[in-house]
């Protein structure tokens, strides 16, 4: 059976950071075994049953996969349950797309183009919120970041800016940029001076915050453009730079301040709408005009090890309640999981052929 050359899906129309890719492997020997031995189906029946399988969102995206699903970074993976080699293994690629104004049109256009036969593609939907989406984005950024590579701070800053201001062509802006600094001249936006990118203080503060969040679990404190910072250093910087005042955080206690700042970042999944506080920025709720129509060349979407969204969400739940009367409520976000079943369908056919011959 000839394997048609696969057409890569093009997510070029989606703003950076709004699509996360997951890959999970499934062992067809295990599946057939389950259907024919445990469920006592004839191979023919098992084949048509197996062909219809689409794993659940959790099976497609969580780390703790169970038989017949598993995860492997290996070039030549083997089934961890039965030892089967590559030709028995099929891959599901899953693309999680954040719903919303900036992605809806692109998503509809993409889905329209996809072949319909045999359920080669399946879309699963799940309700989520901006907070979960923010931490998912942060985790993906962390997984794609090599903290031993000195350029990661600039790279993480760029990822953050791409997500915060999707209308800007950051590829162009970052061309030749070697360092990022806090500007003492401008109060909004950014400017370039030779190979240095100067950010308005609040953008710089948020970049540092993101870097802290990404790296804090790897080191004592976090690594940032301002050097290695403990939580206390970080809060102090955010206070002295005027960032806390800008976003209206008046708490004094360190843990509370940190929660409020993270709440602020996670309050919307569309960062181009992030409220920047007392009259300084665009008002909350202002639509991100045109953000969906500008073509953004994206490069964040890398293959990432799968991770558990549910886990990190749970861990945060308790803390969110501390925020108090003016607690920022996370926005509802719909997530669309586009499952690419092409590899699976092809493998099922070839495996069935060898099974019955
Ligand atoms: Zn197996």
Residue 79 CA to ligand 1 center (angstroms) comes to 5
Residue 245 CA to ligand 1 center (angstroms) comes to 57
User: What local confidence, expressed as pLDDT, does residue 2 receive?
Assistant: 37
Angle at which helix 152-164 crosses helix 201-215, to 10 degrees, equals 120
The tens digit of pLDDT for each residue in 19-44 reads: 999 999 999 999 999 999 999 999 88
Please state the three-class secondary structure of 282-315 as a single string: CCCCCCCCCCCCCCCCCCCCCECCCCCHHHHHHH
Residue 315 CA to ligand 1 center (angstroms) comes to 33
Which pair of tokens denotes residue 110? 């993409």
Residue 70 CA to ligand 1 center (angstroms) comes to 9
Residue 185 CA to ligand 1 center (angstroms) comes to 61
DSSP-derived secondary structure for 79-112: -TTT---GGGEEEEEEEEEE-STTTHHHHHHHHH
Residue 17's CB: how many other CB atoms inside 10 A?
24
Residue 59 CA to ligand 1 center (angstroms) comes to 16
Residue 68 CA to ligand 1 center (angstroms) comes to 6
User: What local confidence, expressed as pLDDT, does residue 173 receive?
Assistant: 94
Rounded-to-integer distance, Cα 54 and Cα 354, Å: 22
The tens digit of pLDDT for each residue in 298-351 reads: 223 334 443 333 333 333 333 333 334 455 678 899 999 999 999 999 999 998
Mean pLDDT value of segment 165-177: 90
User: What local confidence, expressed as pLDDT, does residue 158 receive?
Assistant: 95
Rounded-to-integer distance, Cα 204 and Cα 160, Å: 10
Mean pLDDT value of segment 111-117: 91
User: What local confidence, expressed as pLDDT, does residue 328 receive?
Assistant: 61
Per DSSP, the three-state class of 6 is: coil
The residue to which tokens 């803390």 are assigned: 319
User: What local confidence, expressed as pLDDT, does residue 3 receive?
Assistant: 40
| Element containing residue 244 per DSSP (H, E) | helix 243-246
Which pair of tokens denotes residue 204? 């710089």
The tens digit of pLDDT for each residue in 235-287 reads: 999 999 999 999 999 999 999 999 999 999 988 777 766 555 443 333 333 33
Quote the mean pLDDT of the chain.
82
Asked if residue 179 has pLDDT above 90, the reply is: yes
User: What local confidence, expressed as pLDDT, does residue 357 receive?
Assistant: 67
In the chain the first and final C-alpha atoms are separated, in Å, by 14
Asked if residue 166 has pLDDT above 60, the reply is: yes
User: What local confidence, expressed as pLDDT, does residue 75 receive?
Assistant: 87
User: What local confidence, expressed as pLDDT, does residue 282 receive?
Assistant: 37
Mean pLDDT value of segment 209-221: 85
Asked if residue 219 has pLDDT above 70, the reply is: no
Which pair of tokens denotes residue 216? 């804090």
- Percentage of the chain exceeding pLDDT 70: 81
Nearest alpha carbon to residue 115 among 3, 9, 1, 2: 9
Residue 44 CA to ligand 1 center (angstroms) comes to 19
Residue 37 CA to ligand 1 center (angstroms) comes to 14
User: What local confidence, expressed as pLDDT, does residue 318 receive?
Assistant: 36
Residue 89 CA to ligand 1 center (angstroms) comes to 8
Q: How confident is the model at residue 84 (pLDDT cuts 50, 70, 90)?
A: very high
CB 1 within 8 A of CB 62: no
Rounded-to-integer distance, Cα 119 and Cα 117, Å: 5
Mean pLDDT value of segment 47-62: 90
350 φ/ψ sector (left φ>0, alpha ψ -120 to 50, else beta): alpha
Rounded-to-integer distance, Cα 305 and Cα 22, Å: 7
The tens digit of pLDDT for each residue in 116-127 reads: 888 999 999 999
Per DSSP, the three-state class of 143 is: helix
């Amino acid at each position: 059976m000839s394997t048609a050359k696969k057409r890569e899906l093009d997510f070029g129309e989606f703003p950076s950071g709004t699509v996360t890719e997951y890959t999970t492997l499934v062992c067809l020997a295990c599946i057939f075994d389950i259907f024919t031995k445990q469920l006592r189906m004839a191979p023919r029946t098992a084949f048509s049953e197996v062909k219809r399988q689409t794993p659940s969102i959790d099976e497609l995206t969580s780390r703790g996969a169970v038989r017949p699903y598993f995860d492997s970074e290996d070039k030549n993976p083997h089934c961890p349950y039965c030892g089967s080699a590559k030709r028995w293994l099929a891959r599901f690629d899953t693309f999680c797309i954040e719903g919303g104004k900036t992605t809806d049109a692109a998503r509809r256009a993409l889905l329209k183009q996809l072949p319909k036969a045999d359920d080669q593609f399946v879309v699963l939907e799940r309700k989520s919120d901006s907070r979960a989406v923010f931490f998912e984005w942060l985790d993906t950024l962390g997984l794609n970041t090599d903290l031993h590579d000195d350029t990661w701070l600039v790279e993480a800053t760029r990822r953050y800016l791409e997500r915060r201001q999707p209308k800007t062509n950051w590829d162009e802006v970052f061309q030749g940029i070697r360092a990022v600094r806090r500007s003492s001249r401008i109060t909004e936006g950014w400017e370039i001076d030779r190979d240095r990118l100067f950010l308005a203080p609040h953008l710089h503060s948020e970049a540092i915050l993101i870097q802290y969040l990404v790296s804090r679990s790897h080191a004592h404190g976090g690594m940032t453009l301002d050097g290695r910072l403990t939580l206390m250093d970080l809060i102090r910087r955010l206070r002295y730079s005027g960032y806390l005042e800008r976003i209206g955080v008046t708490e004094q206690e360190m843990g509370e301040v940190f929660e409020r700042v993270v709440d602020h970042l996670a309050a919307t999944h569309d960062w181009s709408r992030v409220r920047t506080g007392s009259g300084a920025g665009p008002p909350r709720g202002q639509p991100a005009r045109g953000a969906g129509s500008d073509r953004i060349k994206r490069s964040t979407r890398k293959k990432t090890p799968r991770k558990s969204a549910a886990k990190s969400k749970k861990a945060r739940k308790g803390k969110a309640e501390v925020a108090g009367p003016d607690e920022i409520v996370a926005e509802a976000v719909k997530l669309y999981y586009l499952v690419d079943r092409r590899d699976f369908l092809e493998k099922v056919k070839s495996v069935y052929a060898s099974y019955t011959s």
